Structure 1
Amino acid sequence: MRDIHVTKVVIKKPYEIVWKWLSDPLTYPNIYPFWLSEIKEVGDNLYEGTGPYGEYKFTLEINQKLGSINLKIGNESSRTRLFQLDDENTVVIHLAVRWKDMKNHLSWFFYKRGVNKDFKNAKKIIEKCK
C-alpha cells in the first residue's frame, strides 16, 4: 500500500479567489466537512478544531507567492499547492503522507477517501461563489 496520497482538482475560479478560501482555516468546516465541523483561532497561526474523527490542533504556514499552504497537525504535515492555470482556473494539489501512528490500512483508505471528498466539496463551494 502506498504511503503517499495525492489529490488534484481544477477549480474554475481565479487564483486569488481560490487562495482566499483555502488559506483561511476559518473556512475549513464549510469546505472540508469530512475533516472539521468547528474551528477557532487560539493564537498566532494556531488553530483548534473538532470534526467527525476527533479534535485537532494545528499551525498554519502560508506563502501566497509560492501558492503553498502547509498545516502541521500533530505528527502529520498537510501540504497544499495552488497553481494559476489561466485567468479563470486554478489547479489545487494536496499531498498527504501516511503518518507513522496510522497502522490500520482501512483507516488510511477511509482517510484518503475523505480527503478526496473534501476537495471535491471545496471545488463545488468555491465555484459557486461570486
Structure 2
Amino acid sequence: MKNPEQTIGNMADKCGTVFMSYIDDEGFPVTKAMLKPRVREGIQMFWFHTNTSSNKVKFYRENPKASIYFVDIRFFRGVCLAGNVEVLETSEAKEMLWQEGDTMYYKEGVTDPDYCVLKFTAVKGRYYSNFHSEDFVI
C-alpha cells in the first residue's frame, strides 16, 4: 500500500458501515456493525456515537482494547485497525458529533444520558487487497 493515510482514509469516508469489536467479560471478541465514524483525525482517531446503555460501552469501560474494520466490497479489500476506545460523555464531545435528526436515536437530544461518544485511537493495522495482507504501524 503506497499511501496508507489516503487509502484507509478514503475507505473510512466512503463506507456506510464499520465493524467494531470489543472483548466481553468471558474474554470473547464481540463484533457489532456501527454507522461510519462522524469525525476522524487521519487514520489514527475515529469518533462514533452510540447508546450509553449498550453492552459495548459497558465492556469498553472494563477493557478499552478494540478493533474497527472497514471493507470496500466493490474491490474486495479491507483494513482492520487495532487500538483503544475511550467512552466520552462530556458536553463538548457530544456536541461535536451531534447532527440534526439524531433525536431518532437519542430522544432527549444532545444531553440525553443514553448518548455518548466512543473515541477510537488506532495503534496498528492490517490491510488486505489483491490476495495479499500487510501489517503497518500507525
Higher relative contact order (CA 8 A, sep 6+): 1
TM-score computed with the length of structure 1 as normaliser:
0.29
Larger strand share, 1 or 2:
2
TM-score computed with the length of structure 2 as normaliser:
0.27
Larger helix share, 1 or 2:
1
Structure label with greater radius of gyration: 2
